Amino acid sequence: RAAAASRGARALKMADPSALSAATNPEVAQAQFFLWFFGGSGAAGIGVGQIPKLYDSYKSVQALKGEGTSLGGPTLGLPVALLGYPEDPSIADLKQVFENRKSVDQMINEGPQDTYLAQRGYLTQAAFMAANAKCNPLAARIVFDVFPSAAGAPEEAQALLDSFRDDDSEDLAVFKAALIGAKIKGNSAFATLVFILGFAASVCIESAQVAFFSS
C-alpha cells in the first residue's frame, strides 16, 4: 500500500514545476488545468483504489483482539491505537514469533501458493501466519507488518527476523524501532499522496476559473 501511494505521489511531482500555481493567462491556465486534471486523476485512481484495501486490512487487524492464547507478561509499550492495533502485544508473544526456527524459505514453500506473489517466491501474510499458527495471532501479524511491503522479499524478511532474534534488549529495541519506522514510512507515503491530490485539486479549480470563466 505504501508503494502504490508513493507511485501516485511521484506521478504528480513529475509535473512541470512552472505549473505549481494557477496561471493568470487564459491559454496558459487551460493547459495548466488539463495537466493537473489528468495527472491528478491518475494519482486519485491509485489513492481511491487503496482505501478499501486499507479498511479491510484495518478490520482484519482489529478482529485479532483477544484471539488465540497469550504468554502474558510485560507488553511492548507503544501507542498501539496510533499504530492501528487493538491492544499492546506481549513481549513474550513477540519473542515466540522471533524464535520460530523455520526459515523464511520454508515458510514460503510450505505456505499457500494461491497468489501471484506467493508463486513468485515472496513471503505473504498467509504463509507467515500459517507458519506461526501456534503463536499469538496479533503478535504474528504485528511482526509481519514490519516487512518492507505487502509481501516480503525472502532475504529482507530473513534478515529482519534474524536481527529481532539476536536482540538481547529486554524491551525489544530493534523490533520496536523497525515497527515504528515501517508505520511512519507507510503512513507518510499515503499522507503525501493526499496532500498532493488536494494541491492538484486547488490548482485545477483556480486554473479552470481563469481558463473557462474569466471575462
Q: Which residue has the cell 500500500?
A: 1
Q: Which of 178, 198, 185, 195 is nearest to 2 (CA)?
A: 185
Beta-bridge partners for 206: none
What's the 3-state SS for 28-89? Answer: HHHHHHHHHHHHHHHHHHHHHHHHHHHHHHHHHHHCCCCCCCCCCCCECCCCHHHHCCCCCC
Segment 118-175, tens digit of pLDDT:
888 899 999 999 999 999 999 999 999 998 765 568 899 999 999 999 999 999 999 9
Beta-bridge partners for 123: 152
Q: What is the overall mean pLDDT for the chain?
A: 81
Whether the predicted pLDDT of 98 surpasses 80: yes
Set of cell numbers at residue 113: 501458493
SS3 label, residue 13: helix
Segment 4-31, tens digit of pLDDT:
445 444 444 444 444 445 556 777 777 7
CA distance 38 to 47: 14
Assign 36 a pLDDT band (cuts: 50, 70, 90): confident
